[in-house]
Structure 1
Amino acid sequence: MSANDLAETLLLAVHAAAVWFCTGLVWVIQLLVYPGFAHMERAGWVAVHRRHTRLMGRLIVAPWLVQGLTCAVLLVWQPPGVPVVLALAAGVCGAATVAVTVAISVPCHERLAEGFDADVLARLTRTNWWRTAAWTLGGAVALAMIGLAG
């Protein structure tokens, strides 16, 4: 295996690992964490929410940055066999997670940091399906790129 082949394999593997980490995490949030928030004691809400956002930030920042960096590399350097359309799809999926997070999720969390609000939590949970779908599709794209890489 040449150094170039190794670099291509490593790029695709690191990209897939980062995307699938984020995918698994967002599914846990979607199916367990956000629905669980609706059943929490309101008296401790602010502290629990603060802890959630702090720990979630620590968990997601590194793999999300790796996803972004590897997407950027894949947009300019596709391994043989990987069509540019898949690199573009990976980029669109990644950009969608950022857009939903910045435009919707962060403002919802900022409101929830002030106190529990059932309507805001419902909006956060409903719109988080967009991130869940984008990361899941991005994971499928990552696997397709690995499968097609020559």
Structure 2
Amino acid sequence: MLLLVVLVLHAAAVWFCTGLVWVVQVLVYPGFAGLDRASFTAWHDRHTRLMAWTVSGPWAVQGVTTAVLLVWRPDGVPFWAAALAGVCGAATVAVTVLVSVPCHRRLSAGYDDEVLTRLVVTNRWRVLAWTAGGLVAAGMLVAAA
């Protein structure tokens, strides 16, 4: 029963992050281009700070539950599914650390069309990874039922 709770927490965290990254991709990042340039830096810094608070809890839950599921899984959930969930989660971390954070650091210095375009284009990898992770989580829930 406890492992099923872990799996449900995992799925909830992944789907929260999936929904959030889709909103960021479709609405938030493209919206940066329409912000007043004089107040862009202050607005961007506020966005970055609040986004970190918004995503850090669910993202941590995703990471911890993935680690647990790699070691212990509910009956019916194969190791390969937990491993695939881990790959999807690792991809979100890698793109964030290696691409998104550096782009945000550059945008903190001021608006830049080229950097914003890079952020939007490369964020598609996070959208893909979190969406795939959500589908894997749903599949694990079905397998455990």
The answer to whether TM tops 0.5 is yes
Q: Within 5 Å, which residues of 2 pair with 1:41-80?
A: 41-80=36-75
Tell me the secondary structure at the aligned position of residue 40 of structure 1: coil
Using structure 1 for the length normalisation, give the TM-score: 0.95
Alpha-carbon separation, structure 2, partners of 1:61 and 1:40: 25
Using structure 2 for the length normalisation, give the TM-score: 0.98
Amino acid at match of 1:18: A
Tell me the secondary structure at the aligned position of residue 74 of structure 2: coil
Alpha-carbon separation, structure 2, partners of 1:26 and 1:44: 24
Amino acid at match of 1:136: T
Amino acid at match of 2:125: W
How far residue 149 of structure 1 moved from its aligned partner, in angstroms, is: 0.7
1:72-112 deviation per Cα after TM superposition (whole angstroms, max 9, x unaligned): 00001111100111000000000000000000000000000
Tell me the secondary structure at the aligned position of residue 78 of structure 1: coil
Structure 1 segments (4+ residues) deviating >2 Å: none
State the partner residue of 1:122.
Answer: 117
How far residue 8 of structure 1 moved from its aligned partner, in angstroms, is: 1.8
State the partner residue of 1:87.
Answer: 82
Tell me the secondary structure at the aligned position of residue 86 of structure 2: helix
Instruction: Choose the corresponding residue for 2:144, options 128, 140, 149.
Output: 149
Tell me the secondary structure at the aligned position of residue 13 of structure 1: helix
How far residue 7 of structure 1 moved from its aligned partner, in angstroms, is: 0.5
Structure 1 unaligned segments of length 5 or more: list them. 1-5
Alpha-carbon separation, structure 1, partners of 2:83 and 2:73: 10
Amino acid at match of 1:142: A
How far residue 141 of structure 1 moved from its aligned partner, in angstroms, is: 0.3
Tell me the secondary structure at the aligned position of residue 73 of structure 2: coil
Q: Within 5 Å, which residues of 2 pair with 1:102-121?
A: 102-121=97-116
- The alignment of Structure 1 onto Structure 2 pairs a total of residues equal to 145
